[in-house]
Structure 1
Amino acid sequence: MGLTSKKVLLLAVCVAVALFVLTIWLWPRLSKKNWRTVLGRIGLLLATQLSLFASVGLVANNAFGFYASWADLFGQEQEPGVVTEYETGPNGTKLKTLGTEHLSIPGGSKPRLGGRIEKVLVQGEQSKISSPAYVYLPPQYFQREYAGKKFPATVVLTGYPGTAQALYKKLHFPQTQHRLLKEKKMQPTVLVMMRPTVAPPRDTECMDIPNGPQTETFFTKDLRADISQHYRIGTGAENWGIIGDSTGGYCALKMTMRHPEAFSTGVALSGNYKAPIDSTTGDLFGGSRRLERENNLLWRQRNLPAPPVNLLVTSSKQGEGNYRETLKFIEQTKSPSRIASIILDSGGHNFNTWRREIPAAMEWLGRHLQP
């Protein structure tokens, strides 16, 4: 049974309840003052506490999508799924199709009505990084009147560690776009849904780490080339946007600002403005102060020329730790960069807050991308 399985959660809750009842039932028998009863009391209390913590942890993981599997939880990655087909682009890069995913959209069983999610394996020619992605093709992609047209695309990133499945199972990016398309508030856009952790378990903060994973190259060069060769997607920066939450939001802003030739539009939902250094990241900068400064987005605004890009940032007056920095980022944005924001009165750093922001963010993003 998988980590996110409802059976695992139900089993954990049942065990916790059973141990609680057992503790109440056996406590009088274990009240004697000898080493056996003392050990019994310690054992029951410890088992009950552990089962309660496990239940709460599973509930939180299912709600927020921190880990997708047991291997993910314990820092071990599973091998990719069985390849069903593959295509080779003109530059020799390969994108492997691993299958399709169920989509909870009315008419989702028919691609021309609900679109389709394809799971693919992107293999980076320049970065030498391979990572899975979930590509949502909107209904128009399968309709006759759009057969000769290319579509804009948006990379959608989770936080760290995150799971890509949470982007359509919890945050409902495809479902939101489907609704906006029906309301004629957004143009059809291909969504490339991923987590930024493409060199697990390390949190690379979407950087080309000296003598380490070349994550920035993967997203700004390999991913765009591979996806554009496999699907009917434009190849120019004006055709590509990127949106993410938390760590993914920092990545979205940074890669748009550092690579306007790759992405014309970036959206950060509760994003940070510089990369943390901790046990999950390791040394990101190889001791280089210059590299550290260049990846600090507030420093970039003050000291480097502004790129011609569109940026959207979000925060909350109460509940978000990035509120003051977000205001500073907005204030420091210089032309030809263009800035917009979504500021809630209150909202924590969580899925519920981002679900409130995603519809407006997607509508805004759609207005700035060109087919």
Structure 2
Amino acid sequence: MRKALKALLIATTTGFAVAYLLRTQGTKLRRRTDDGPRPEQTAPPGDFAEEATVRPVLATPRDDDTPLSTPVAAAAEVRPARHAPGREPQLEQRHEARHEARHDQRHGQRYEQASEIVEIDPDRLTPLAVIGPEPERPARTRRPQLVVGGVTLAFVLVAGAVGTLAYDSLKGDDDGDKTAPAAAGTSEAASPRPSASSTDGDLAPLGPQQFQSLGTRSGGQLNHLELAGRRSGVTSDVWVWLPPQYTQESMRTKSFPVLVVHSAYPGVGANSMLEPGMGLLADLTDGITSGTLPPFVVVAPELTPYQQNELSALADPTEIDTECSDIPGKPSMATFHNEDVREAVAATFRVSADRASWGLLGEGAGGLCATKYALQYGQYYAASASLSGPLELTSPLWPSASGVRDAQQPKALLAKKPDVRVFLSNTSSATAARQDATAFKSAAKAPTVVENATASGTVSKQLPAALQFLGRNVTDSTEKSPSSASATATGAGTGATSTRRP
């Protein structure tokens, strides 16, 4: 915006400067036109019957040729022999006085009377034509004014147009890329919310982020941040729930385990895993208090980067589902969830950097994320649990080119045999989903471990078994001295001394 306003100001200033210059030149031109030679005054033929008589005005009449010694009062006096018919002498006198005054005002001086002796021989004077009424001066030409005005107006209009174009072009630069992902079968595609620019190469360490406290939930502290991902270029909301133990004095030096939870679709403006009806936070509080669950710090990011009104305008909102992936040309949600969110949480809260202390949980589309991320980012997670989540990528956002989507299919990632543990839960009525989960488990090869479960009723009924699985397979990190040795799992981050919970 600042660039646009600057360009517009420069264009407008230049236009007015040139307009002022052209107006100045036009004024000079009009002045030269006014000061030019005046048309000769000639008596119209037939106006007068006699010619004027020029009578010398002498100081003293003399008969000889002796030079005069006394100055004359005037060089000569020209009087008409008779005035034109119908013209009053007073009118001529007023005309002459007005003419002399105009002439004096234009040149800034007055005529002075002659200061020397003048002799005039009346016989040698040539009679002058009687001066008739001064002809009306021709009207000043308006052509220079019209030219100057036209050029000035044209330049100002051009300057305004250039400034407007500069504003429009720079505006796009000041606001960033807001290109919407193509929505299949719709005339208008929803666009991701404004995001930060992606950064390539090494980045400076990220400092603590300014999370806003939203109060107490189930005995713990809920916080919120709109995070601008440095690597993904995605800007989206993130909620972090701190267990009651986080603020206890005895836990001031503890590095807490992390449970990343992913929402059902679309997951915009909220995370379904934090809803009271799901019961996740309440179950965690009870399990932590009883000792059956580690004191998880819960991280709940938005599932998609869209606005709710954009999704509501579509006939089928799932047509722009990013499926927790970096789809070419679309928001890089996989990078945002696993790189940017992890970085921000680790820089702000006392959480473990050991991948053995990080787990995943999700329902529906979020369940697909939990399974896919555990297999794709094994360096960051030890285990995952999916509640009625699919096992195949089907979004229309994927390009038609073969191999682009296939490489990120959960089955393809499973074939790489990452050292993770996966829990797949479905309702008893979802026959096809249970069959897919069974086939997925059969395809798993060590060290990958896949477990299946079935529960009747709503998704929330599957939650207790999923939390038990995560409690067994996610490490509860403890404080260790710098000199102590530790065994860590393969992946990024430092190790933490701990034992796997039974």
Name the TM-score, length of structure 2 as normaliser: 0.50
Q: Are the equivalent residues in 2 in contact too, given 1:310–1:339 (CA < 8 A)?
A: yes
What residue is the counterpart of 1:363 in the other structure?
468
Q: Are the equivalent residues in 2 in contact too, given 1:274–1:295 (CA < 8 A)?
A: no
What residue is the counterpart of 2:327 in the other structure?
209
The count of residues paired between Structure 1 and Structure 2 equals: 268
CA distance in structure 2 between the aligned counterparts of 1:151 and 1:178, rounded to whole angstroms: 14
1:97 has 2:211 as partner: yes
| Structure 2: 5+ residue stretches without partners | 1-188, 196-202, 312-319, 478-502
The structure with more radius of gyration: 2
Partner SS, residue 95 of structure 1: coil
- Listed as ranges, the matches of 1:127-142 within 5 Å are 127-142=232-247
Between Structure 1 and Structure 2, which shows a larger proportion of helix residues? 1
Q: Are the equivalent residues in 1 in contact too, given 2:258–2:299 (CA < 8 A)?
A: yes
CA displacement 1:153-205 (0-9 Å, x = unmatched): 01111111135353222212111100111222111010012331135554211
Q: Structure 1 residues 248, 193: closer, same or farther in 2, change over 3 A?
A: same
1:244 deviates by: 0.4
What residue is the counterpart of 1:189 in the other structure?
296
Write the letter of the residue equivalent to 2:410. Answer: L
Q: Are the equivalent residues in 1 in contact too, given 2:454–2:462 (CA < 8 A)?
A: no
Q: Are the equivalent residues in 2 in contact too, given 1:160–1:195 (CA < 8 A)?
A: no
- Listed as ranges, the matches of 1:1-371 within 5 Å are 91-92=205-206, 95-103=209-217, 105=218, 114-162=219-267, 164-168=270-274, 169-200=276-307, 201=311, 202-277=320-395, 282-284=396-398, 286-301=399-414, 304-319=415-430, 321-344=432-455, 346-347=456-457, 353-370=458-475, 371=477
Q: Which moved more, 1:234-243 or 1:216-225?
A: 234-243
1:133 deviates by: 1.6
CA distance in structure 1 between the aligned counterparts of 2:346 and 2:208, rounded to whole angstroms: 11
Q: Structure 1 residues 218, 358: closer, same or farther in 2, change over 3 A?
A: same
Name the TM-score, length of structure 1 as normaliser: 0.67
1:257 deviates by: 0.3
| Structure 1: 5+ residue stretches without partners | 1-73, 81-88, 106-113, 348-352
Q: Structure 1 residues 208, 79: closer, same or farther in 2, change over 3 A?
A: closer
Q: Structure 1 residues 292, 165: closer, same or farther in 2, change over 3 A?
A: closer
Q: CA RMSD in A?
A: 2.5
1:102 deviates by: 4.6
Partner SS, residue 405 of structure 2: helix
CA distance in structure 1 between the aligned counterparts of 2:194 and 2:409, rounded to whole angstroms: 34
Q: Which moved more, 1:304-313 or 1:158-167?
A: 158-167
Between Structure 1 and Structure 2, which shows a larger proportion of strand residues? 1
Partner SS, residue 214 of structure 2: strand
Q: Structure 1 residues 122, 236: closer, same or farther in 2, change over 3 A?
A: farther
Q: Are the equivalent residues in 1 in contact too, given 2:288–2:295 (CA < 8 A)?
A: yes
CA distance in structure 2 between the aligned counterparts of 1:144 and 1:97, rounded to whole angstroms: 21
